[in-house]
A and B are shown apart, each in its own frame.
Chain A
Amino acid sequence: MSTSLRLLRLMRPFRWQATLAVVLGTMMIASSMGLLGMSAYLIADATYRPLLVLLTIPIYVVRLASVTRAAARYAERMVSHSLTFRLLARLRTLVYQRLVPLTPAVLLRHRSGDLLTRLVADVDELQNLYVRMVSPAIVALLITGITTATFAVFSPLLAWAALIMMVLAGAGIPWLASLLDRRTGTHLLELRGQLNALLTDTIQGMPDVIACSAEDRFTGRINDLQSAILREQRRSALVSAIEQALTDIMLSLSVWLVLLLAIPLVTQGIVGGVYLAFLALLLMASFEALQPLGEAFQFSGRALGAGTRLFAVIDAQPAVTDPAEAESPPASGTPVSLTFDGVTFTYPDEHEPALRDVSFTLPAGKRMALVGATGAGKSSVLHLIERAYDPERGAVLLAHRDIRRYALEDARAMLAVIDQDTYIFNNTIRANLRIGCPTATDDALWAALEHAGLADFVRDTPDGLDAWVGEQGQRLSGGERQLLAIARAMLKNAPVLLLDEPTANLDALTERVVLDALYRLMAGRTVLMATHRLIAMERMDEILVLDHGRIVEKGTHDALLEANGLYARLFEAQNAVLTDNLTGMEV
């Protein structure tokens, strides 16, 4: 189904509201037409047949039209805004619904959340689908119909004239303008894209710009781009001016043409002269319906673009699915083991496997570290356990069963994940914590905070658990965020703990505080930690060294150091200068 049809189908649940709004919109313009037309008739008639009593009907219509116009306008705006918000809600819900099964895979494929931010912007754009595109188009059609029908009462010739002119003005001109503007439009968009990227670089990369003494260079490039944009904008302004002029002249020309055709009809007695003014004003007033069509054309182009992007994302097939018959997960509280059996895995867009024939067993309640350079495959192991993807060969086993046999939700319920970039939601501390356990009582929340070492911080914050954090609230430091993630994981109380470089972005002191809390969290759980910070490695039961997707070494910290292989090299590289043993930590 084409994008435009699908977009229209989005409005189906609101068709009655949309119809009402269209009717109101039409009424609004029809009232205006009635008001002006009847006023013209009124004064013509007053000259013609000077009897006050004969004017009562036109006067009444004029009064009525005043009220209905204003009332219709108000009602139409309420209804169409309500409709727009409802459409927005529907779009958002729909998109979110479709995104959930696509996660985490969809996030890994598209970098830096760029896709998702654009998605949100596209949804925002599409909310205007009704009010900027559908409604003006239908109202214009209806009004054209009403005008033509009214004219037809007087003379088919006049009706045809009115129809043709309105169609030319309403559809012909915007179409022409879009043709003229197309090349300029795309070129301008491109230039603006370049300018925006350059502006972003200049502002966000300012320390580097200044450090490299490149200010003049950057300003120069911005100036050049801006000049190019200026030239394109002038072209675009010309097109816009022509469009305006054409639209304006259509109105004048339409009235002129109708007059040209009507005068001989009056002379021949086919049309009464008293109606001339009425017809002229009626036609002029009806052009109000054609005004928003130019913008509607432009918007429809953007809407199609947004719709195409949107559907491309939500139409994607999920990378993983629930099994037809799900196995029940082990009872809560049972320790869970983790096994990789000959796993080979390649990311969908890549050629080289990220993991090759990886096999290991992590018994329940034990702790294992995954070590290796960036890109060695540590994160890929974790992604497979999270079932972002399925391996192409081999199997991942949780509690001795292939992970694919569990329902996705059940499998993930067995995992608690902490990675290096904990996302804090725009919400209270309480709400952020409750993600781990929605039914947790405040007591449970405080207990988790104590355990994680964040309780004092929260107590010292005004509003405590109700303090608003996240983008629009307080910003938490890196360490505070990780401690919050730890508290949240404690509340979830899952048997398996997956850690992906949890202290990577922290300074050495904060790192220790967080590691302390992490080790408290690890108690009694099966733990898999990916890290390249080789700190406190003797506390791990086993260490797996990955290189280019393969396990190259396996063993305890001491055994690996003795073996003098890759691990020993990494460890030495990290601690090259110091002779002191850095790894002693108070338990």
Chain B
Amino acid sequence: MRKPPQYVPGEARLPLLLAVLLGLLATAAIILQMGLLSWIIARVFLNRSTLSDVMPAMLGLLAAGVLRAALTGAREYAAREASTRVERTLRLDLIRHLLRAGPAFTRLERTGELVTLATAGLERVDAYISRYLPQVALSAGSPLLIAAVIFPFDTLSAVLLLVTAPIIPVLMVFAGSYAQDHIDRQWIALSRMGAHFLDSVQGLGTLVLFGRGRDEVERVARISERYRQRSLKALRSAFVSGFILEFMTAVAIGIIAVELGIRLLNGAMPFDRALFILLLTPEFYRPLRDLGMRRHAGMEGKTALTRYTEVTSAPAVAWNAAPAGSLPRAPFTISLVGVTYRYAGAAQPALRDLTLTLHPATVTALVGPTGAGKSTLAQLIMRILEPDEGEIRVNGLPLRDLSPDVWRRFVAVVPQRPYLFAGTLRENVLMAHPDASDESLREALRIAGAEAFVHALPYKYETLLGERGARLSAGEAQRIAIARAILKDAPLLIMDEPTSHLDPESEAAVREAMTYLTRHRTVLVIAHRINTVATAQQIAVLNAGRITQIGTHDSLLASGGLYAQLVRGSSKIEVLP
């Protein structure tokens, strides 16, 4: 199973290790540099050496500087390489997992949030992996290295440094968690205030039409000011910790300078040694201070990493391979026996003890009030969900024995709100069957009643669709989805509210397409609009997860009951317990 958020993918470990190693080597170069520097200054200052006297050392100093720079650059590259690799692995992993968990999972989470995680969120992991993590190691390694070098030269200074060093991270953690507490408590209020501007902008149209535009300008100003005050209050404690950090560091440097000075006075220490120690002191504290600064950016990345781990740890549908030779053959009889399904955290099951048979080459319609469980049923048949109890069979073969991706090749779906992908219209229709010929494409669009509007488009089949492309109306999008289903030519067809967003003309066009589609196939149509389903061979009425009536349009009308009510239209429907 996955480890907690400290999980770092394998291929990133080597570069990270390298980054830390290079960082330590850079520190060694700095030590060399400072050693040469202090030697040179001491010689010139005390021994009155000339430039030519110290030239070799000067060249050495220059070389040390170049070495240090090269190591620093290499360290940066290694760290970035680590995060580049991590980003790629995590992203692919995440998408694969999401695809397996399927829409059932993404339905429960907010897709917007998942998209943010997959895009911006994983980008931030970079700051955590390439900046923060190596820094943590370096802030332990570098100071130790420096202290170790100073130790043989001057025990007192080394001890002073080592004693003061841990105080800084301890303070940071302490003050950091205090600040976090503060922010956490305010978080709901702060996040509402932060989201307020976006909310006002998105609702701008409504506000202006209600004459509230000018009031809102004032509100934006007021809330922004309150946000400022609250945030500052919350941040104050974080700043105090920064204060203490700086203060401690500066005081430490001061103390060391003074104690060095006093011993110099007494002649107890040579100048170059004292200068060497003084030069290394700020270097000693630098990694610790850098850690503090990089912490915030690192935390954002860590949050993303935690969320990623959460998402990928969620159980996915078990994939079992179909034993060869046992693939079902069209036409299909789909039988559901005693199927029960309950959504996680729901009080009532969405479907209870449901038994229904979809006969080959017939249309079964599923009607019922919203929330009755109709879409759940479709998802169970598509194996996006697994029933808690009961079984679904195709031609007698349990669906469980087929792997979901194999099974879905036999199912064509026309969803309620078809998604149009960023790509050409052609690519969108060919989605289900990328190798289809141009002829089949045209034929599919014709049958779907989409030919007319496609030809009216400026670029016809090559028209770009999706977020940045042309906007199709709901009716046009629906017809594209129907064309997709026609092209896929699968033995089982599921249509979920195919006409709910359409104007009467589009609806008629779609109904025509349906007549074509429903021949020789097993079809399940889910609908609210009665006129879409009235010609079905079998109509099942679903209410509160149970099938309450089954029959044809005429027989159900005659028997009265829920179906008749739905047809006649009454707002008083009794919902079964």
Contact = CB atoms under 8 A, between A and B. Distances in A.
A196 B254 CA distance: 51
Contacts of A107: 204-205
Nearest to A78: B239
Interface in A382-432: 386, 409, 412-413, 415, 417, 422-423, 425-427
A131 interface: no
A445 B84 CA distance: 56
Given A214-B432, A417-B209, A471 B102 contact: no
Contact of A210 (B45, B48, B408, B420): B408
A336 interface: no
A215 B420 CA distance: 15
A89 B221 contact: yes
Given A206-B98, A219-B95, A70 B246 contact: yes
B92 A206 contact: no
A207 B104 CA distance: 9
A578 interface: yes
A273 B224 contact: no
A120 B254 contact: no
Given A219-B99, A582-B569, A89 B51 contact: no
A236 to B, nearest CB: 8
A545 B96 CA distance: 51
A123 B33 contact: no
Interface in A43-84: 43-47, 50-52, 55, 58-59, 62-63, 65-67, 69-71, 73-74, 77-78, 81-82
A35 B508 CA distance: 84
Interface stretch (B140-148, B353-361, B386-394, B465-473): B465-473
A267 interface: yes
Nearest to A536: B569
A215 B99 contact: yes
Interface stretch (B172-180, B322-330, B410-418, B441-449): B410-418
A302 interface: no
A281 B65 contact: no
Given A210-B99, A507-B370, A374 B503 contact: yes
Given A93-B224, A241-B77, A570-B504, A435 B33 contact: no
Given A100-B204, A492-B210, A509-B573, A574 B507 contact: yes
B76 interface: yes
Interface in A197-255: 197-215, 217-219, 222-223, 226-227, 229-230, 233-234, 236-238, 240-242, 244-246, 248-249, 252-253, 255
Contacts of B535: 577
Contact of B243 (A35, A73, A111): A73
A222 B197 CA distance: 34
A7 B92 CA distance: 40
A263 interface: yes
Interface in B419-469: 419-422, 431-432, 434, 466-468
A211 B415 contact: yes
Contact of A100 (B98, B214, B258, B279): B214
Interface stretch (B163-171, B227-235, B335-343, B544-552): B227-235
Contact of B504 (A32, A386, A573): A573
B517 interface: no
A236 B267 CA distance: 53
B247 interface: yes
Specify the main secondary structure of chain B where it touches its partner.
Answer: helix
B501 interface: yes
B65 A252 contact: yes
Contacts of A415: 209
Interface in B59-99: 61-62, 64-66, 68-70, 72-74, 76-77, 80-81, 84-85, 88, 91-92, 95-96, 98-99
Contact of B209 (A40, A238, A412): A412
B384 interface: yes
B471 A111 contact: yes
A210 B534 contact: no
Interface stretch (B36-44, B299-307, B344-352): B36-44
Interface in A30-45: 31-32, 35-36, 38-40, 42-45
Contacts of B278: 39-40, 43, 277, 281
A241 B370 contact: no
Given A73-B242, A99-B201, A215-B99, A238 B275 contact: no
B260 A578 contact: no
A520 B114 CA distance: 42
A508 B569 contact: yes
A38 B405 CA distance: 73
A86 interface: yes
A43 B270 CA distance: 10
A370 interface: no
20 contacts: A42-B257, A47-B271, A65-B254, A66-B253, A78-B239, A85-B224, A100-B208, A100-B213, A203-B111, A203-B114, A208-B431, A210-B102, A234-B84, A238-B77, A264-B51, A273-B46, A273-B48, A435-B212, A516-B571, A580-B567
Give the top 4 A-B pairs by smallest Cβ distance, nearest first: A252-B65, A245-B73, A89-B224, A205-B419
